[in-house]
Amino acid sequence: MIIDMHMHIGDFTFTPGEGRVPLTWENQLARLDEEGIDLAVMLPVYNASPEGAPPGVALLDERMSVRDQVLDAARYPGRIVPFGNLDPRWGSNSPNYDFSPVLEWFVAQGCKGVGEVTAHLPFDDDRVVNMFRQLGSYKLPVTIESAGTEAGSYGLQDEPGAPRLERLLRTAPQTTIIGHGPGFWAEISREVRPVDKWGYPKGKVAEGGALPRLLREYPNLYADISADSGFNALTRDPAFGLAFLHLFQDKLLFGTDTCFADAAGKRPQLGFLKGLRESGQITPEIYSKITGANASALLGIKSA
Ligand SMILES: [Zn+2]
């Protein structure tokens, strides 16, 4: 079973006249059929506060509410697995806010996790820790967007070396965190400049990066390989990328983070993994773990 761990619905057009094709339920189901993907995990994106929203012109951003996306997902059982989504600042910015009413609603609607969390707050902010601990007590894994500390990015913030992510992993040990985004994937290398936390660093990976260490040391950390950030990290140094796929075959989750339903919006991840399997660089077992078995075990999805 192949599972796309990172799928959205909505219009991600930020520049007038871009001429891109927004994501709809219909064209996303057609994409899954075309690519041979059995299931997709829908991460609701919503018009968050300015610090939590992707950069761009909000007026062109015709996304639905989290509630609408979760309710609509129920029309596609067996194809779409919904996640809920929320912001650590909800509840008047209180670090003691009780999120259980909304988490119970998510669980009742069949949500298998939460994300992606895009709030531009430090990973170890009290409000983030409070929300993540509660996600753990509801056994809801959480997908995170990750960035550096400078303005003009979005997602949970950290410094090079990921000390704040590590603090969150340690203070919320019951919570499964699914890492994603430039700030997360830059840490595949030991050499990370602040600018790399919101970029796509190229070239050889320096051994001893925070990401391999955290994946090794924290059972509650997983990684989704979606988007340019995940793909860049796995391919910037092909030999390192291949060794990384072997080493963390139980922790990596295939995803696309497709943002547009046109030819330019196609993501290379699945074709890349298929190519590695066909050329014998990864075993069929590693391929099936990364493309679906790890996700179905994590989310408690039984294969059909
Ligand atoms: Zn995304």
Domains of the chain: 3-299 (3.20.20.140)
31: CA distance to ligand 1 center in Å?
16
Q: At residue 232, does pLDDT exceed 90? A: yes
Sign for the pseudo-dihedral over CA of 230, 243, 214, 175: positive
280: CA distance to ligand 1 center in Å?
30
6: CA distance to ligand 1 center in Å?
6
pLDDT band at 172 (very low <50, low <70, confident <90, very high): very high
pTM of the model: 0.96
Sign for the pseudo-dihedral over CA of 10, 14, 16, 21: negative
Highest mean pLDDT among 49-58, 145-154, 209-218: 209-218
pLDDT band at 154 (very low <50, low <70, confident <90, very high): confident
Q: For residue 83, what are the contacts with CB-CB under 8 A and spacing of at least 6?
A: 41, 42, 43, 44, 111, 112, 113, 114, 115, 143
pLDDT band at 69 (very low <50, low <70, confident <90, very high): very high
pLDDT at 79: 97
Q: At residue 12, does pLDDT exceed 90? A: no
232: CA distance to ligand 1 center in Å?
15
- Give the pLDDT mean for 287-292: 98
pLDDT band at 213 (very low <50, low <70, confident <90, very high): very high
208: CA distance to ligand 1 center in Å?
27
Find the range with the poorest average confidence among 5-9, 196-200, 210-214, 227-231. 196-200
Cα–Cα distance, 269 to 251 (Å, whole number):
16
